[in-house]
Amino acid sequence: MSIRTNILLRVYLAFGLILLFAVAVVVQMYRLQYVQGNKWKAMASKLSTKYENVEATRGNIYSVDGSLLATSVPEYELHMDMFAGGIAEDKIFYSKVDSLASKLSALYPERSERDYSRMLRDARKDSSRYQLIRRKVTFQELKEIRRFPIFKLGKYKGGLIVLAQNKRILPFRSLAARTIGYKNENVKNAVGLEGAYAGYINGENGKRLMQRIAGGVYVPVNNDEDEVTAKDGADIISTINVNFQDVAQKALKKQLDSIQADFGTVVLMEVATGEIRAIANFTRTKEGDYEERFNYAIGAEAEPGSTFKLATYMTLLDQHKIDTSSKVDIEHGIYNMVNPHNGKVFLHIKDAEDGGSVISAKHAFEESSNVAAVKFVYSHYKDNPREFTDALYRYHLNERNGLQIPGEGQPLIKNPSSKSWNKLQSVAQMAYGYELKLSPLQMLTFYNSVANNGKMISPIFVREIRSMGNTVEHFQAKVINPKVCSDEALAKVKGLLEGVVLEGTGKLVIKNKLYSVAGKTGTAQIANGSSGYGEKNAHQASFCGYFPADHPKYSMIVVISNPKVGSHLAAHVAGPVFRKIADRVYASDLDINHSAPLHLVGNTTMPKVKQGNLAALKQVYSKLGLKPLYAAANTGIDTSSGIPFEENKYKAGTVPTVTGMGLSDALYLLGNAGYKVGVKGSGVVTAQSVTGGSTIPKGSKITIELQ
């Protein structure tokens, strides 16, 4: 073979290989473009864009009087696209960047104008499309920032990228904090109303399209079509009364500070509805202060002690075992129960004081005699203890109340079939509140049934759920037991409870001249595990009752554990807290604090007016010659001189009261105060979602209803 032929063969071979490679490339390109095109397009889109959740605004939690207990306020994170459409040219950007830096420095003076200018210029040089400007920006600050140079060019031209976030705040801070609860993704067990009603409060998250840019950073795509708007959560209307809650917390904490107890709890409930008006729980910290760390009212089941004697005497009276006049020898407050088979003492019972010898059942209850309770129960039920325990089960004391918030303790009421039942002493111990367990709220529920004429209802914490101002669900207390005992027995136990305060252990501390109270003290030793009751000599003091006794409106329980200073007796430990709260509630509730009735006098046809422009209102009244038409009976006040007017003033930083106003005046006041306003209906403002005088962050939304 000649050299020329050899060279040609090599050229043809090389050309053929190149041609073959080119054909393979074309085939593969066709395959990628048309055969597998959809697959790779989807993958590319997935790698360069993604949808990110937009957190919904969580619903508010309100008190029963309309005050905000928990709300979400908007908080923003600001970024900047340094090459947005309006500043793509260097001339435009550099002519305004110093002005922008000056405005940012004036609003956030922790950085100088020079620092801001340098930051923005460096970001421009680095071709940043997502430069961080500021975190934790408020709504009012954002409104101002949108008017800054460059940013005022608009959403797309000015380069301002706003990421909205929600910050949960409690306007009243620690007030009912544990009952309100909190949202924590890392905590499995729901806490308070925030946890129990998360399905309503959380709303539905939206979606926002994010695109990856250089450096692996994702920035939002400014395309409204690619966004799914978040759906705001529903509002919770709780049963808590802010004023009563404040009184309860202060009274409890002051007492805990003075006696250095381990913890304390108080619950105030409305008798007829079962609505919880106040609930406070304080735990002593290592530093000696008190904080809300655990909801003892619903979750701390313990031996209640003498407050349980209400169930004991109710059973004895309802089954006609005794009457209030029945006699019992309390043996000067010391009684030893002896085993008839071996003559050994198996139970030693002692009263707090020497109460004498033979007394009536009424007097024994009033003085909280343990000896009397044991003797009555043991003499009638020792041969058939199930008759006694079955009655307790009929009261449903062995069952949870089924509360609206999680964490309710499991009550323990033994019966002869229980593994820990002691044939000799269990029924005797139960007579005065031992060898059984109840939470404070479960005990209060039982006492409330007496105040409620025998109707036992489950306590509730939430009255209503509202979405967009409309009621989604309304709650009422469920009936646990329509009639706990006969009317005859009910009347007798009411008399016993009133006697405790009038003549018994609560006389010196709780009795007062303004209103009547019915209730029972309870001082229980706290067991120290297997070591028994004597080692620590610690006590739990409680008072449970209702007021006014003649027409009950509220029931309340106070429980304080292990006081270390002063007396450990319930009347001196829990009694003062009960009295202080009851006094304040009675003084502020017009339904039970009977004031002088209002009488109409003179012409009662008034012209309809809207609050607002006071000067105009005065002029109209003056021209019409109208005089006051309403006066309190027997006040002795001459009302013929004219109508008293009150300026519509509000404290800066608080919500103005706009009820009674027209729409324009209401919008003017609320807008000037810095709030967003939602309007429903027309006419006169009849309701506002946030009570006047409340303190909430500016930028929050307030809904007003007009009729």
Q: Do the Cβ atoms of 268 and 248 come closer than 8 Å?
A: yes
Dist. CA 584–CA 247, nearest whole Å: 7
- Outline where DSSP puts E strands in 571-692: 598-600, 630-632, 676-681, 685-688
Q: Do the Cβ atoms of 71 and 240 come closer than 8 Å?
A: no
- Outline where DSSP puts E strands in 398-447: 412-413, 436-437
Return the closest-CA partner of residue 267 out of 298, 308, 302, 310: 298
Phi and psi, residue 317, nearest 5°: -75, -40
Burial of 705: CB neighbours in 10 Å, binned 0-12, 13-18, 19+: middle
Residue ranges in the chain modelled with pLDDT below 70: 1, 40-48, 184-190, 212-219, 222-226, 528-536, 593-651
Please give the pLDDT value at position 705.
86
Q: Give how far the C-alpha of residue 421 lies from the chain's centroid of Cα atoms, to the nearest Å.
A: 39
- Token pair of 550 as six digits: 């003649």
Dist. CA 191–CA 184, nearest whole Å: 9
Burial 383-396 (b: 16+ CB within 10 A, else e): eebeebbebbeebb
Q: Tell me whether strands 235-238 and 61-62 are parallel, antiparallel or unpaired.
A: parallel
- Token pair of 562 as six digits: 């292990």
* Residue 659: partners with Cβ closer than 8 Å, 6 or more residues away: 611, 685, 686, 687, 688, 692
Q: What residue type is 565 in one-letter code?
A: V
Dist. CA 518–CA 500, nearest whole Å: 7
Q: What SS3 state is found at 434?
A: coil
Q: Is the peptide bond before 563 cis (omega within 30 degrees of 0)?
A: no
Please give the pLDDT value at position 542.
96
Q: What SS3 state is found at 337?
A: strand
Query: What is the DSSP-derived secondary structure letter of residue 86?
Result: G
Strands of the sheet with 290-291, listed across from one edge: 290-291, 276-284, 263-270, 554-561, 539-547, 518-525
Dist. CA 309–CA 431, nearest whole Å: 7
Dist. CA 353–CA 356, nearest whole Å: 9
* Residue 509: partners with Cβ closer than 8 Å, 6 or more residues away: 571, 572, 575, 576, 579
Q: Which CATH class is domain 598-706?
A: alpha beta
Please give the pLDDT value at position 116.
94
Q: Which CATH class is domain 52-238?
A: alpha beta
Q: What residue type is 293 in one-letter code?
A: R
Q: Do the Cβ atoms of 82 and 148 come closer than 8 Å?
A: no
Return the closest-CA partner of residue 416 out of 399, 400, 392: 392
Q: Structural domain boundaries of the chain?
A: 3-35, 52-238, 244-588, 598-706
Q: Do the Cβ atoms of 651 and 693 come closer than 8 Å?
A: yes
Return the closest-CA partner of residue 333 out of 353, 361, 348, 347: 353
pTM above 0.85, yes or no: no
- Outline where DSSP puts E strands in 325-410: 327-329, 334-338, 345-350, 358-360
Dist. CA 180–CA 168, nearest whole Å: 12
Dist. CA 348–CA 637, nearest whole Å: 67
Alpha-carbon torsion, ordered 36, 42, 45, 47, to 10 deg: -90
Dist. CA 642–CA 646, nearest whole Å: 13
* Residue 378: partners with Cβ closer than 8 Å, 6 or more residues away: 337, 427, 428, 431
- Helix (H) or strand (E) holding 34, with range, is none
Dist. CA 572–CA 567, nearest whole Å: 7
* Residue 468: partners with Cβ closer than 8 Å, 6 or more residues away: none
Dist. CA 274–CA 522, nearest whole Å: 23
Query: What is the DSSP-derived secondary structure letter of residue 204?
Result: B
Residue found under tokens 């029945």:
326
Alpha-carbon torsion, ordered 358, 361, 366, 370, to 10 deg: 70
Dist. CA 674–CA 139, nearest whole Å: 10
Return the closest-CA partner of residue 553 out of 512, 594, 598, 513: 594
Please give the pLDDT value at position 186.
54
Q: What SS3 state is found at 77?
A: strand
CATH of domain 244-588: 3.40.710.10
Q: Count how many Cα atoms sit within 13 Å of the Cα of residue 442 in the half-sphere of its side chain.
A: 30
What separation in angstroms does the CA of 677 have from each of 374, 668, 696? 64, 10, 14
Q: Tell me whether strands 327-329 and 290-291 are parallel, antiparallel or unpaired.
A: unpaired
Q: Do the Cβ atoms of 237 and 463 come closer than 8 Å?
A: yes
Dist. CA 475–CA 467, nearest whole Å: 15
Strand partners, 73: 167
Return the closest-CA partner of residue 308 out of 2, 524, 83: 524
Q: For the chain, how many residues are written?
A: 707
**DSSP assignment string, 253-309:** HHHHHHHT-SEEEEEEEETTT-BEEEEEEEEE-TTS-EE--S-HHHH--B--GGGGH
Dist. CA 482–CA 457, nearest whole Å: 8
Residue found under tokens 């000696």:
288
Dist. CA 291–CA 286, nearest whole Å: 11
Q: Tell me whether strands 456-457 and 358-360 are parallel, antiparallel or unpaired.
A: unpaired
Dist. CA 459–CA 366, nearest whole Å: 27
Handedness of CA 252, 254, 259, 260 (dihedral sign): positive
List, as own/partner pairs, every contact residues 333-337 make where C-beta atoms lie below 8 angstroms and the sequence separation is at least 24, other chains included: 333/369, 333/371, 334/371, 335/371, 335/374, 335/375, 337/374, 337/378, 337/424, 337/425, 337/428
